[in-house]
Every structure is written in structure tokens, then in C-alpha cells.
């Protein structure tokens, strides 16, 4: 287990905080489909699904060859970067969020491409189950720690 959060995880925290202020609930490091792992999957108040990929530097962005695959699993797609990131690297027609570990700001909305109803239902169920499983594991760890203290 790592001791310190990675830069992308810190950006995700700021993104999650900002999205919460907009009525979204976020799940970090979510797997929508085999071979894909998104940094932030957010569910909006009307069931809209947003994917946010957090990029901490040029090399991190260039190493991500799978991002096109994320578009099939969300209604909107965003990049989240910090103030030092070279914005000219990011593709046009995608959303853009400026973030730090404490907050974020949406600079550009990506195009909305609504998911089919069946895929939306499947994704909402998977997000709910993943979140519930993570919460149960955290609760069990806390109970185990308290029992051994």
C-alpha cells in the first residue's frame, strides 16, 4: 500500500469535492468494463454519468491510449489537470476541469452523448454495487481494528 497519494489522486479529490457541490456523487478508480479504469465516475442528480480522467503531467497524458474507450460509458467526458498542465495537448471536443487537491473548476463542458437506457441502467447498478462493496470493506476494516485494540 502506498503511503502518499499520487498527483492524479489528489486531482481526483479536488474534482470529487467540486462535483459534490454540483449535486454529483463520485467513485474513484472505477472499472466500467474489462481493461478500463476511470479516475472519477460521477453520477449526477438526474442519473447523468460523467467520466473524468486526471492527468498530472505531459507523460501521464501521452501514456493514456485508452481514453477513447471511456466515451462509451458516460454522457460527458472530461480531463482534469492542474494549473501547470500544457492545455494545448488536450483534444478539442472534450471537457476540461482545472483542479487541485482541494477543489476544481469546470472550464469547458464536453459534448453530451446520452447513453442508451439499458447501458445507463447497467452502469448505475455497477456503480451502486461497487460503492456498497467498498463501504462494506471499509466498515469491516474499522471493526477489525476496533476489536484488536
The count of structural domains within the chain is 1
The answer to whether the predicted template modeling score (pTM) of the entire model surpasses 0.95 is no
What pLDDT was estimated at residue 2? 59
Q: Does any domain span residue 2?
A: no
* Confidence (pLDDT) at 65: 86
Residue 35 resides in a domain: yes
The pLDDT value recorded for residue 141 is 82
Per the domain annotation, does 61 fall within a domain? yes
Report the number of secondary-structure helices (H) and strands (E) in the chain.
4, 6
**Extended beta strands in 6-48, E state:** 25-30, 38-43
Strand partners, 99: 104
Q: Which domain holds residue 23?
A: 7-147
**pLDDT tens track, the chain, 149 positions:** 557 889 899 999 999 999 999 999 999 999 999 999 999 999 999 999 999 999 999 999 999 889 999 999 999 999 999 999 999 999 999 999 999 999 999 999 999 999 999 999 999 999 999 999 999 999 888 778 788 87
- 1 inside domain: no
Helices (H), 22-114: 58-62, 67-70
Amino acid at each position: 500500500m502506498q503511503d502518499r497519494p499520487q498527483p492524479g489522486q489528489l486531482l481526483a479529490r479536488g474534482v470529487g469535492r467540486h462535483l459534490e457541490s454540483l449535486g454529483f456523487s463520485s467513485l474513484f478508480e472505477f472499472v466500467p468494463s474489462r481493461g478500463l479504469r476511470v479516475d472519477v465516475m460521477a453520477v449526477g442528480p438526474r442519473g447523468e454519468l460523467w467520466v473524468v480522467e486526471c492527468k498530472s503531467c505531459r507523460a501521464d497524458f501521452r501514456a493514456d491510449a485508452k481514453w477513447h474507450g471511456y466515451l462509451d460509458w458516460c454522457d460527458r467526458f472530461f480531463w482534469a489537470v492542474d494549473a501547470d498542465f500544457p492545455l494545448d495537448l488536450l483534444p478539442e471536443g472534450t471537457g476540461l476541469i482545472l483542479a487541485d487537491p482541494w477543489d476544481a473548476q469546470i472550464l469547458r463542458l464536453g459534448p453530451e452523448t446520452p447513453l442508451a437506457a439499458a447501458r445507463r441502467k447497467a452502469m448505475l447498478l455497477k456503480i451502486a454495487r461497487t460503492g456498497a462493496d467498498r463501504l462494506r470493506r471499509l466498515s469491516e476494516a474499522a471493526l477489525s481494528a476496533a476489536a484488536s485494540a
